[in-house]
Amino acid sequence: MDTVWLFVKAFVVGGLICDIGQLLIMNTKLTNARILVLFVTGGVLLTALGLYKPLVDFAGAGATVPLTGFGYSLAMGAIEAVNRYGFWGAFVGGISRTAAGITAAIVFGLLNALIFKPHAKP
Amino acid sequence: MSRMGSQTFVYDRPPAIAAHRSIAGPKEGKGPLAAWFDTVLEDDILGQKSWELAEMEMVRRCVQAALNEAHVTDEQAQAMLGGDLNNQIIASSFAARALGVPFIGLYGACSTFVQALVIGSALICGGFLDNAVCVASSHYCTAERQFRFPLELGSQRPPQASWTATACGCALLSNEDRGGLRVTSGTVGRIIDLNISDANHMGAAMAPAVFDCIAAHMADTGRTADDYDLIATGDLGWIGRDLLLELASAADMPLPPDRLIDCGASLFYQEQDAHAGGSGCGCVASVACGWLMKRLEAGDIRRLLLVGSGAMFSPTSSQQAQSVPGIAYAACIERRD
Amino acid sequence: MSRQPFTPDQYKELVHKLTPPSRMLRGYWRAFWVGGLICCVGQALTLWAEQLNLGEITAPMFTTSVLVFVGTTLTGLGVYDVIGKYAGAGSAIPVTGFANSVAAPAIEFQREGAIMGVGARLFTLAGPVLAYGIASSVAVGIVYWLLRGWVL
């Protein structure tokens, strides 16, 4: 039962975060790139203000999988690294905590370019 | 050859359309006009290494087919006037390289085909050329990656966005004295900008320019919409056509809705998910060469005003938040017996 | 000489009136369920990571990497753009959408070569996200460092 509840929370919170993005797509002239930037920096800011961590604790992947969760990891990484290394931690923490995701995107992106060919849309 | 009014050429020795050919892509070949196109492609790549080369090959095949139809060899062809949407119009110039025909590269965005008809007719009427190939093309895949996003990116289009047609149309003009179709006058439009900055909404950006060009044509020639069996605009789309009708009635020179069609709005079925309709240089070129000229030849219409419309923006001007200026060219095509 | 019957402002109003709006409810519903579903896949991966006894640090790495792999592969297979057309933000906002934004230009621009094609274009969309995301995390770290020194 607890597992089902975990998934319900992830589904609803994740879906609602995506709907905020959908609202921006349908009602503003913001381009995709701008919306993605807005979500990541928004996640960083909310985390810094201490507002995003409770959402992650509540919804799990529902809060970490959307790009705001990427911002959460960046900000949490920076804060934890400052605790550990002092000032220079600010320059290390963000990237090191998100390194796996960024590296995976670059490596798999490159592999894709090797394997697949561009295709036309129907 | 003479000039009428402020913007119109009247060709007193009107050039004949000796041959016309159209090629449409697979998606366009599933639309309402499928049966009219001379060739419908099976795929978008035409056995080439890139989309750009595929578009070039499409232009080459189209021009070659028109020359063959009129029994004109590559050496006898005196000029090829044309353009496309690629940066530095590479599809047309590379096709001209393959054909070896003297080349005049044009850019009028999606209005390029009609621009070529207007200029080509003037050069023939003025005695500078005996024949001229007018051609324009567009390819969904080359336009999309240049103007918007990579094809593989998962993004949504707003309802006002249009679908760049994969298509090419080519008309061979000639000074031969013969029956059939003739280009009798042409109007060069002004660039009109009513400050539409949504680069997705090209119909809205171009409708005022199309209206201005039609109004200039009527004022210069002393004609009204009633003198034409059909007025065909290039790629305003469903919404742009409605805007044009509104502009015309507000200016007190209403256009007859039953005799005003838009090539872009005619190219796809609504279910084909092309949103506002087809667009691109190849849209008006293929619909005019494939459908409208055949209707003129069949005698179902006798006098056509073909109005090409173009949105003169680039990714750079868009990123610099500039508005989208519109242009239009009009050519009067008549059937002479 | 202007033949235009409308001023730019009047015309803008007319354009607005004649342009059909996006279908809002449908858009929200599609974004909601697709986005929610992708998050559930993430949740399943997290539970799986727990079973594999991956630690607190490595478990999110596992989840993210698998989601990124799925996103790039579906991009290469030509499936992700179809999903994106249907779901909009529902597939663009999850980390799979970030993967899509990296893989899409990499595939599309391979004909422009390995360096200025694939290598440079890889970051056309992801570049701004990384640049501003990382810069803002540094800003947060510095502010946190200042406040910590100040308060303690």
As a three-state string, the secondary structure of B162-179 is: CEECCEEEEEEEECCCCC
- Residue B1: pLDDT above 80? no
Residue A69 forms contact with C (CB below 8 Å): yes
Helices (H), chain C: 8-18, 24-51, 58-76, 80-87, 89-92, 95-108, 120-121, 126-151
Same domain (yes/no): C65, C77: yes
State the Cα–Cα distance between residues B301 and C134, nearest whole angstrom: 64
> What's the pLDDT at B97?
97
Residue B112 · residue B80 · CB < 8 Å: no
Closest CA to B241 of B213, B272, B263: B263
Please give, rounded to a whole number of angstroms, the shortest distance from the CA of B272 to a CA of chain C.
14
The burial class, CB within 10 Å (0-12 / 13-18 / 19+), for C113 is exposed
Residue A118 · residue C110 · CB < 8 Å: yes
State the Cα–Cα distance between residues C141 and C125, nearest whole angstrom: 25
> What's the pLDDT at C55?
84
Angle of CA points C13, C15, C17, to nearest 5° = 70
Same domain (yes/no): C71, C135: no
Interface test with A, best of B46, B141, B323 (most A CBs within 10 A): B141
Per-residue pLDDT averaged across B32-52, rounded? 96
> What's the pLDDT at B261?
97
**Domain-embedded: residue C13:** yes
Contact B154 C85 (CB under 8 A): yes
Same domain (yes/no): B107, B184: no
* B247 vs C contacts (CB less than 8 Å): 4-6
Domain at B36, CATH number: 3.40.47.40
Hey, what are A103's tokens? 């590296």
**Domain-embedded: residue C28:** yes
C25-59 pLDDT, tens digit each = 999 999 999 999 999 999 999 999 999 988 887 89
> What's the pLDDT at B288?
98
Torsion sign across C-alpha atoms A40, A42, A45, A47: negative
Count of domains forming chain B: 2
Residue B324 forms contact with C (CB below 8 Å): no
Residuewise pLDDT in 10s, chain C (152 residues): 578 999 999 999 999 999 998 889 999 999 999 999 999 999 999 999 999 988 887 899 999 999 999 999 999 999 999 999 999 999 999 999 999 999 999 999 999 999 999 999 999 999 999 999 999 999 999 999 999 988 76
Boundary-marking domain end, from B117, B141, B174: B174
Same domain (yes/no): C75, C50: yes
Same domain (yes/no): B192, B284: yes
Same domain (yes/no): B190, B146: no
Closest CA to B286 of B63, B79, B55, B24: B24
Hey, what are C35's tokens? 């986005």
Same domain (yes/no): B309, B242: yes
State the Cα–Cα distance between residues B112 and B305, nearest whole angstrom: 15
B5-30 pLDDT, tens digit each = 999 999 999 999 999 999 999 999 99
- pTM value is 0.95
Residue A101 forms contact with C (CB below 8 Å): yes
Same domain (yes/no): C113, C133: no
Using CB atoms, which residue from C15, C78, C88 is nearest to B204?
C15
Residue B120 · residue B173 · CB < 8 Å: yes
Same domain (yes/no): C19, C77: yes
Same domain (yes/no): B157, B126: yes
List the 15-44 stretch of A: residues with Cβ below 8 A of C: 15-26, 32-33, 35-37, 39-41, 44
| Domain hosting residue B324, numbered range | 180-336
| Widest distance between CA atoms in chain C | 77
Interface test with C, best of A67, A80, A112, A117 (most C CBs within 10 A): A112
- Residue B2: pLDDT above 90? no
Same domain (yes/no): B124, B194: no
Same domain (yes/no): C38, C52: yes
Same domain (yes/no): C149, C104: no
| Widest distance between CA atoms in chain A | 54
Same domain (yes/no): C138, C99: no
Bridge partner list, B163: B278
* A32 vs C contacts (CB less than 8 Å): 92, 101, 125
Same domain (yes/no): B112, B156: yes
State the Cα–Cα distance between residues B219 and C3, nearest whole angstrom: 11
Count of domains forming chain C: 2
Same domain (yes/no): C86, C151: no
Region for A50 from its dihedrals, namely left if φ exceeds 0, alpha if ψ lies in -120 to 50, beta otherwise: left
- Count CA atoms closer than 13 A to B182's CA, side-chain side: 19
Angle of CA points A63, A69, A75, to nearest 5° = 130
Same domain (yes/no): B110, B240: no
**Domain-embedded: residue C95:** yes
Same domain (yes/no): C136, C78: no
| Widest distance between CA atoms in chain B | 54
Residuewise pLDDT in 10s, chain A (122 residues): 689 999 999 999 999 999 999 999 999 888 889 999 999 999 999 999 999 999 999 999 999 999 999 999 999 999 999 999 999 999 999 999 999 999 999 999 999 999 999 888 76
Same domain (yes/no): C74, C90: yes
Same domain (yes/no): B16, B151: yes
Bridge partner list, C94: A66
Angle of CA points C67, C69, C72, to nearest 5° = 110
> What is the H or E stretch that residue A21 is in?
helix A2-27
> What's the pLDDT at A93?
95
* Residue at B70: amino acid letter: A
Same domain (yes/no): C133, C71: no
Torsion sign across C-alpha atoms B3, B8, B12, B17: positive
| Domain hosting residue C21, numbered range | 8-121
> What's the pLDDT at A1?
65
State the Cα–Cα distance between residues B81 and C123, nearest whole angstrom: 38
Report the share of chain B in percent with pLDDT over 70: 100
- Count CA atoms closer than 13 A to B42's CA, side-chain side: 2
Same domain (yes/no): B279, B147: no
Boundary-marking domain end, from B148, B174, B200: B174
ipTM confidence score: 0.95
Boundary-marking domain end, from B174, B196, B231: B174
**Domain-embedded: residue C2:** no
Same domain (yes/no): B190, B160: no
Neighbour subunits, A (≥3 Cβ pairs < 8 A): B, C
State the Cα–Cα distance between residues A70 and B281, nearest whole angstrom: 42
Same domain (yes/no): B122, B167: yes
Helices (H), B126-255: 140-147, 202-221, 237-250
